[in-house]
């Protein structure tokens, strides 16, 4: 997938990787960058745990879970976030903060969810950004 941000401020996403998770993470990263966030890390892993995106939003370090759905057959992307997943993200975030680079140190931390519901047939995409999920 190729991401371009033309001068007009319109983002163009050219899809090459049809895996919904990878595509969703790239779209979410672009959305956050266009909103002024700085990407610190993508797909941070600790043991079997993963954080999709770690960004700096002003003075705040944000741990972002991205959920993507290609069709409503399995529910909406927002419905895919569970308490167990949030618990695992918190555990991985603690490890990142202990071992992370200096830019990971901040007084404020937040956990966000970016949910993407895609309809490939119509070409529609709905993005929901929920700040402070837990």
Spatial distance between the Cα atoms of 66 and 87, rounded to a whole number of angstroms: 15
The model's pLDDT over 50-81, given as tens digits with 9 standing for 90+, comes to 999 999 999 999 999 999 987 776 778 878 88
**Residue 109: how many CB atoms within 10 A of its CB?**
13
What is the per-residue pLDDT for 19?
Answer: 59
Spatial distance between the Cα atoms of 65 and 5, rounded to a whole number of angstroms: 23
Kindly list the structural domains of the chain, giving each domain's residue range(s) and its CATH number in brackets, ordered by start. 2-130 (3.40.1350.10)
Q: For residue 134, give the nearest of 82, 63, 86 by alpha carbon.
A: 86
In three-state secondary structure terms, 25 is helix
Structure tokens at 18: 């049809």
What is the per-residue pLDDT for 43?
Answer: 95
pLDDT less than 70: residues of the chain: 1-20, 73
User: In whole angstroms, what separates CA 67 from the centre of its chain?
Assistant: 8
């Amino acid at each position: 997938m190729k991401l371009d941000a033309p001068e007009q401020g319109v983002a163009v996403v050219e899809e090459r990787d049809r895996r919904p998770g990878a595509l969703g993470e790239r779209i979410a990263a672009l959305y956050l960058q266009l909103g002024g966030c700085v990407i610190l890390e993508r797909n941070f892993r600790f043991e079997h745990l993963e954080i999709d995106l770690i960004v700096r939003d002003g003075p705040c370090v944000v741990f972002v879970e991205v959920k993507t759905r290609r069709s409503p057959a399995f529910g909406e992307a927002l419905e895919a976030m569970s308490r167990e997943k949030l618990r695992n993200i918190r555990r991985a975030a603690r490890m990142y903060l202990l071992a992370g680079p200096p830019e990971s140190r901040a007084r404020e931390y937040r956990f966000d969810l970016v949910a993407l519901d895609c309809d490939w047939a119509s070409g529609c995409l709905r993005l929901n950004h929920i700040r402070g999920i837990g």
